[in-house]
């Protein structure tokens, strides 16, 4: 059974390939991950929540035609349905949208579509990656220094909470959002990569050309923070 809407086709094969890479990274952190899909006009927005970071990840893709739908599906089934062959009939796209699933709680708490304003104070991409590398090194050093009787998940989470809740530059953006952006392929090693911090109400959004990381500001998070070092 599939969602009763036309299966979308992408503007070009790169859109499908980049979305597939994003889904693989989400599934690395949660094999049972769900994603919410919102299509409007000629664009598709895909929302996911990697549990290691307690943020929302947003990847957009250009479509070849106008579509209008809003559905939550299995990330794994969506990945399996992606056709990244531009020579296939109809071009690269989704062969058939998977069946809708009961959405996780985060899927009903998405950031606003409009009203975003850029905020100053965010370091450039090189500084962000340096800060992130230093944080990963600090985590590993502090973890290695734990005595055997304290080498527990709770102790490691305390270290992670201390490191990843630190803010970057002159902003309220926590370092875990930068960590998520790099781990999901949004913060790539290019010195001139345009990065920006935007706000809308209580929401913060780290935006790059490859995707965005969104989260509520201080006191308005997405759930309990339990962060340990992830794959960088």
pLDDT tens, position by position, 108-118? 889 998 999 99
Q: How many domains, the chain?
A: 2
Kindly report the CATH number assigned to the domain that includes residue 39: 3.10.150
Average pLDDT, the chain: 88
Would you say residue 4 lies in a domain? no
pLDDT at 46 over 90: yes
Q: What does the pLDDT look like over 57-78, one tens digit per residue?
A: 999 999 998 999 999 999 999 9
pLDDT of residue 96: 84
pLDDT at 43 over 60: yes
Helix segments in the chain, DSSP class H: 13-29, 75-81, 125-144, 153-164, 175-183
Query: Half-sphere exposure (CA, 13 Å, Cβ side) for 171?
Result: 24
Which of these three, 108, 139, 165, is where a domain ends? Answer: 108
Would you say residue 90 lies in a domain? yes
Considering the domain architecture, whether residues 28 and 80 belong to the same structural domain is answered as yes
Instruction: Tell me the residue range of the domain where 28 lies.
Output: 13-108
Considering the domain architecture, whether residues 48 and 139 belong to the same structural domain is answered as no
pLDDT at 221 over 80: no
Considering the domain architecture, whether residues 71 and 88 belong to the same structural domain is answered as yes
Considering the domain architecture, whether residues 102 and 121 belong to the same structural domain is answered as no
Would you say residue 124 lies in a domain? yes
Phi, psi of 193 (to 5 degrees): -60, 125
């Amino acid at each position: 059974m599939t969602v009763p809407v036309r299966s979308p086709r992408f503007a070009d094969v790169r859109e499908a390939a980049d979305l597939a890479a994003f889904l693989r990274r989400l599934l690395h952190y949660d094999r049972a991950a769900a994603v919410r899909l919102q299509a409007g006009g000629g664009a598709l927005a895909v929302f996911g929540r990697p549990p290691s970071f307690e943020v929302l990840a947003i990847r957009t893709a250009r479509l070849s035609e106008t579509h209008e739908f809003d559905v939550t599906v299995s990330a794994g089934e969506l990945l399996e349905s992606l056709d990244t062959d531009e020579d296939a009939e109809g071009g690269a796209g989704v062969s058939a949208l998977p069946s809708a699933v009961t959405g996780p709680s985060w899927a009903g708490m998405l950031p606003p579509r409009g009203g975003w304003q850029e905020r100053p104070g965010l370091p450039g991409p090189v500084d962000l990656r340096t800060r992130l590398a230093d944080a990963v090194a600090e985590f590993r050093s502090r973890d290695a220094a734990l005595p055997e009787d304290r080498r527990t998940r709770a102790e490691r989470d305390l270290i992670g909470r201390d490191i990843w809740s630190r803010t970057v530059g002159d902003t309220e953006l926590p370092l875990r959002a930068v960590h998520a952006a790099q781990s999901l392929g949004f913060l790539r090693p290019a010195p001139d990569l345009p990065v920006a911090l935007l706000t809308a109400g209580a929401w913060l959004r780290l935006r790059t050309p490859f995707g965005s990381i969104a989260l509520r500001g201080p006191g308005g998070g997405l759930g309990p923070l339990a962060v340990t070092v992830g794959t960088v």
